[in-house]
């Protein structure tokens, strides 16, 4: 059981619990009972209802924790759920079909922000700027070339540890939401996935209504650049501005991006293999230290928490390599010795590095 002061919900990548509730409802329709799910993944909570509803707090023993007033389920549990459900139901298309049911409500406030935007470009910017309110498992990134536009899903949780139905659900969800918001006036030119095809190509192309390719560089939706100007039929300036204002209260913005994202980008690149001070990060972002602290406080996250997140994600690169011992990992991360790293890891996850690696083992074997 986790202690009351646990910060693991802030450190480990996760997804809004509302998403998992919807997934469990869908799996129940397919014949998979909540009781069976909890036999597989008891860490999610003591009862087969994924804990409390809105306005309630998670009870003792539950893995649900709050951040910015929201509940989060850790990525490792989400991926194990998708993998076990796909195997148990003998259905390789679970994620694809679940994602295709998506609506604006499925993506919480981010979905309504996109739906109320004036045009597709504004909708995409809403998704890119505020998606951390909904998911920290992966994020959508807009990449524009001369002849095409791609909306790519970039994993935060290691991509090789992602259950393929979870990735397909994300791509199918954003694809379906976009087409519905635009009244099906545009269509994707193609869909690509990084993993191998585990299902039937005809099913994928029927769902997406375009060519689908596997073992590609990105998990992505490809659109025509001219579609960016397509007006949104549900555009509502009053609703959109109100949601933007509410989102900005939760995520302090710096140079067009949430400050948390900017800090994490610096730590991920310049902070690898070392421990960066807040003064160094502030200087990189051309901010005063006091200003950076105030912006992080608005986001309800401290600098140490972001450093812990960055170091935890860096640690994940080594955990599936059994040949790398923890002394080597500690030194490569910039810790002075293994004991310091072990204490930090316990603070991040409520367990030792070896226990965490052992927990991941069965899950990774399912994913393989």
Q: Tens of pLDDT along 171-199?
A: 999 888 777 766 666 789 999 999 999 99
Phi, psi of 173 (to 5 degrees): -65, -50
Q: Tens of pLDDT along 259-300?
A: 998 999 999 998 888 889 999 999 999 999 999 999 998 888
CA distances from 3 to 8, 61, 63, 349 (A): 10, 9, 11, 11
**What is the helix (H) or strand (E) element at residue 344, kind and residue range?**
helix 338-349
CA 143 to chain centre: 18
* pLDDT on residue 104: 63
Q: What is the mean pLDDT of the chain?
A: 84
Contacts 24+ apart (CB under 8 A), 305-309: 305/7, 305/10, 305/11, 306/260, 306/263, 306/264, 306/267, 307/267, 307/271, 307/275, 307/276, 308/7, 308/10, 308/11, 308/344, 308/347, 308/348, 309/10, 309/11, 309/264, 309/267
CA distance 233 to 196: 36
Pairing of strands 138-144, 70-74: unpaired
Quick one: DSSP state of residue 47? S
* Exposure of 136 in the CB half-sphere (CA atoms within 13 A): 24
Domains and CATH numbers, the chain: 1-91 (no CATH), 112-250 (no CATH), 251-367 (1.10.10.60)
Q: Tens of pLDDT along 239-253?
A: 888 888 877 777 777
Token pair 């069965």 in the structure block, residue = 362
3 state SS of 70:
strand
Percent of the chain with pLDDT over 70: 86
Mean pLDDT on 144-158: 87
Encoding tokens for residue 297?
Answer: 């406080």
- Which of 36-50, 106-120, 297-311, 313-327 is predicted most confidently? 297-311
Quick one: DSSP state of residue 217? S
Q: Global pTM?
A: 0.84
Phi, psi of 66 (to 5 degrees): -105, 145
User: Which segments of the chain are extended strands (E)?
Assistant: 14-16, 65-67, 70-74, 138-144, 149-155, 190-192, 212-213, 219-223, 253-254, 257-258
Is the pLDDT confidence value at 6 over 90? no
Q: Tens of pLDDT along 202-237?
A: 999 999 999 999 999 999 999 888 887 888 878 888
CA distance 229 to 269: 34
> Which positions ≥6 away from 317 have C-beta within 8 Å?
158
User: What is the residue-wise DSSP string for 351-367?
Assistant: S-HHHHHHHHHHHHHHH
């Amino acid at each position: 059981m986790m202690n009351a002061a646990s910060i693991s919900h802030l450190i480990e990548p996760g997804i809004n619990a509302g998403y998992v509730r919807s997934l469990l409802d869908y799996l129940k329709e397919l014949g998979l009972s909540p009781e069976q799910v909890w036999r597989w993944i008891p860490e999610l909570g003591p009862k087969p209802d994924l804990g409390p509803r809105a306005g309630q707090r998670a009870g003792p023993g539950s893995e649900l924790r709050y951040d910015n007033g929201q509940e989060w389920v850790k990525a490792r549990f989400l991926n194990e759920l998708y993998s076990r459900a796909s195997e148990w139901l003998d259905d390789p298309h679970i994620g694809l079909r679940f994602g295709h049911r998506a609506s604006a409500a499925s993506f919480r406030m981010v979905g309504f922000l996109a739906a109320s935007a004036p045009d597709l470009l504004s909708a995409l910017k809403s998704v890119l700027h505020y998606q951390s309110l909904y998911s920290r498992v992966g994020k959508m990134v807009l990449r524009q070339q001369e002849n095409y536009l791609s909306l790519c899903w970039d994993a935060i949780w290691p991509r090789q540890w992602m259950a393929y139905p979870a990735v397909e659900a994300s791509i199918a969800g954003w694809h379906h939401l976009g087409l519905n918001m635009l009244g099906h006036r545009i269509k994707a030119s193609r869909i690509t996935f990084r993993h191998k095809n585990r299902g039937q190509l005809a099913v994928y192309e029927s769902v997406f209504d375009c060519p689908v390719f596997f073992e590609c560089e990105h998990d992505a939706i490809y659109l025509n650049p001219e579609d960016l100007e397509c007006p949104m039929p549900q555009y509502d300036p009053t609703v959109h501005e109100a949601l933007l204002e509410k989102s900005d209260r939760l995520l302090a913005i710096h140079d067009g991006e949430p400050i948390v994202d900017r800090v994490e980008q610096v730590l991920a690149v310049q902070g690898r293999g070392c421990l960066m001070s807040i003064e160094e990060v502030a200087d990189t972002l051309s901010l005063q230290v006091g200003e950076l602290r105030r912006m992080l406080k608005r986001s309800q996250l401290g600098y140490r928490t972001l450093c812990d997140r960055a170091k935890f994600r860096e640690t994940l690169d080594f955990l599936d390599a059994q040949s790398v011992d923890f002394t080597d990992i500690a030194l490569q991360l910039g810790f002075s010795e293994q004991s310091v790293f072990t204490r930090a890891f316990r603070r991040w996850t409520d367990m030792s590095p070896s226990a965490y690696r052992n927990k991941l083992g069965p899950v990774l074997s399912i994913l393989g």
